[in-house]
Chains A and B, each alone.
Chain A
Amino acid sequence: MTNPFDAIKTAFGSLKVNVLRSLLTMLGIVIGVGAVIVMVAVGAGAREMIGEQIRSMGSNMILVVPGASQQSGARMMAGSVHTLKSSDAEAISKECLAVKYTAADWSDVAQVVYGNRNWRTRVWGTWQTTFLMRDWPLRCGRMFGPEEEKRAAKVAILGQTVVENLFGDAYPLGKVLRIRNVPFTVIGVLERKGQTPRGDDQDDSVYVPLRTSQCRLFGTPFLDEIQAAIVQAKDEASIPEAEKQIDELLTRRHKIGRKQEKDFSVKNLAEIHETAQKSLNIMTTLLGSIAAISLLVGGIGIMNIMLVSVTERTREIGIRMAVGARYADILSQFLIEGVALAVSGGLIGVILGIVGAFIFARASGWPAAVDPATVLVAILFSGAVGVFFGFYPALKASRLHPIEALRHE
């Protein structure tokens, strides 16, 4: 066989003769490979984002919220019943064995004032287990203890954004600020947590004991009512078990009969993420099939053009054979041309794919990461397409009889 360098030079020489035709032939591969690159980049970005979401909300979380009420047959929105109590949350924490931590919430938005500054933020009444579940440490100060929770102490823990807006450079610990005109002592400052992927600033919040929020700040329509109980299961495997235990416990505690509608609902946050994963997978499959079809069509295009090229260049093949080219020489020449077409298309596709992923990332705000391994696989795969679809035309060329090929007009 001829030396590979000469063969490659010959192949690119032939492709250069009809640049437009070569480019059009590559188009299918370009689109296919481009789609693969964008798909993988965006898919990886979306996965990363979902993972981050799960991490920031805490893992293995279950949300218990009040159910929907009925008034004269008209069903109200979820959370419109007032039967979920902090005692329910306590019971969950005590009786459900598959549960690690439980916290109960009552929050509202309020004006927070310190000195001559003020700031509007969400004030959360909760238990200190919230911080354990979300893996959110204090920068300084301390948590509120069980005793402060019990007596509804007027103590507050601040997020970084609130500290910046109310205190600037001043030292916040031990200072007294007012929430809805109720004086609170700052006992702790949280570490910076950052934004949720949706763009909510988690640091823009104030935490107070649940009872303080219920009794002293906002007041609840019914005694000891909570907006939600947040539960963390022991581990991923025990999530279904924990859900079952919570469901049974609350059904019993709320004395709900078999045919009655439940006045609470248990939501598995992992399920929400699973749904997100699923729709992501659908998108990935869709893009993947576009890519596969494009590569197939592109490959057929290459085969078509290579067959045309073999016919057009029959005489050239005859001349090459007359001066001593063997089967393998002709076969490899046309095979390399097919592969060169496919790989050039692949390279253009990679470049367009990277640009596309970058634009997508910019436009959507999702992270998009182009993995070098993907690029390599895409290029190798387009090479394989070239070999697969270039083989038949190359074989046809190499099988020509030299005399007939020379006679061809």
Chain B
Amino acid sequence: MALIQMENLGKVYQAGTVDVPALEEIDLSIESGEFLAIMGPSGSGKSTLMNILGCLDAPTSGKYFLDGEDVSELGREQRADVRNRKIGFVFQGFNLLPRINAVHNVELPLIYGHVNASQRHEQARDALKLVGLADRADYLPTQLSGGQQQRVAIARALVNSPEIILADEPTGNLDSRTSKEIMMIFRNLNRERKITFVLVTHDHETGDLMDRKILIRDGKVEGDERNCGEEL
């Protein structure tokens, strides 16, 4: 079975008494080790899909299997557990905790995964080394540049060895040179550590760097193309 398997998945939001469908009839299959983008204009439902993929939210209909496990019926607590064990997040706005230093930020998922302090520290430093920030471990987020902050965020996503990293517009707040660096890091992690990457973006340049593009429009999968073009 594929790493991610979605079957006839739908999500309906309730606005007062009116039902607003955000996603309809999503059938999607993502294999382990893929490097793909979910693309679409704003309001297309790609963020909703991302939230469901990341187990931040549950679908209202259909099935979602993650790593062979049906996660569409899980409750909040179990979803938190799945997020902790299998998913890493990278956000557009970095979302680091401003008052604690880089290494403590990276440790955060391990705290909720009940890893003891010394092992936590070691794993966090290893993750920072992977993104090339070993020497910035004691810096506060505000003392780092945008690119560096995003690399800390990537280290945080990596630290509990997830199956999949979900990145929501990860280069949206960065200049093009830094964006390229970040994309390089993603590609290397994908190649060397076989981590599956799912990027949500509306930027076609970024999309073109991925192996596969899934296009969402009006809550439905409109296209699914394989890239064999540009290399990083």
Contacts and interface: CB of A to CB of B under 8 A. Distances in A.
A5 to B, nearest CB: 8
A96 B122 CA distance: 90
Interface in B78-110: 80-81, 83-85, 89, 91, 95-97, 99-100, 108-109
Interface stretch (A57-65, A203-211, A319-327): A319-327
A236 B63 CA distance: 84
B111 A322 contact: no
Interface residues of A, number: 22
B57 A403 contact: yes
Contacts of A2: 111-112, 114
A267 B118 CA distance: 76
Contacts of B97: 316, 319
B156 interface: yes
B117 A324 contact: no
B226 interface: no
Contact of A326 (B56, B80, B96, B109): B80
Contacts of A329: 112
Contact of A320 (B91, B112, B160): B112
Nearest to A320: B108
B100 A321 contact: no
Given A2-B112, A6-B117, A13-B99, A324 B51 contact: no
A325 B56 contact: no
B95 A406 contact: yes
Contacts of B100: 13
A409 B85 CA distance: 27
A322 B99 contact: no
A79 interface: no
Nearest to B166: A322
Contact of A323 (B99, B108, B114, B117): B108
A363 interface: no
Given A320-B112, A325-B80, A406 B57 contact: no
What is the interface residue range for chain B against chain A?
Answer: 20 to 34
Contacts of B84: 323-324
Contacts of A3: 114
Contacts of B99: 13-14, 17
B113 interface: yes
Contacts of B112: 2, 320, 323-326, 329
A183 interface: no
B83 A324 contact: yes
B175 interface: no
Contacts of A316: 97
Nearest to A322: B89
Interface in A2-20: 2-3, 6, 13-14, 17
A315 interface: yes
B80 A403 contact: no
A310 B112 CA distance: 19
Contacts of B96: 319
Contacts of A325: 80, 112
Contacts of B85: 324
Interface string B39-65: 000000000000100101100000000
B94 to A, nearest CB: 10
Top 6 nearest A-B pairs by Cβ distance? A324-B84, A323-B109, A324-B112, A326-B80, A319-B95, A325-B112
Interface of A: 2-3, 6, 13-14, 17, 315-316, 318-327, 329, 402-403, 406
Interface of B: 51, 54, 56-57, 76-77, 80-81, 83-85, 89, 91, 95-97, 99-100, 108-109, 111-114, 117, 156, 160
27 contacts: A2-B111, A3-B114, A6-B111, A6-B117, A13-B99, A14-B99, A17-B99, A319-B95, A320-B112, A321-B80, A322-B54, A322-B89, A322-B95, A323-B83, A323-B84, A323-B89, A323-B112, A323-B156, A324-B84, A324-B85, A324-B109, A325-B112, A326-B76, A402-B56, A403-B51, A403-B56, A406-B91
Given A319-B96, A322-B89, 5 more contacts: A17-B99, A319-B95, A321-B56, A327-B77, A406-B56
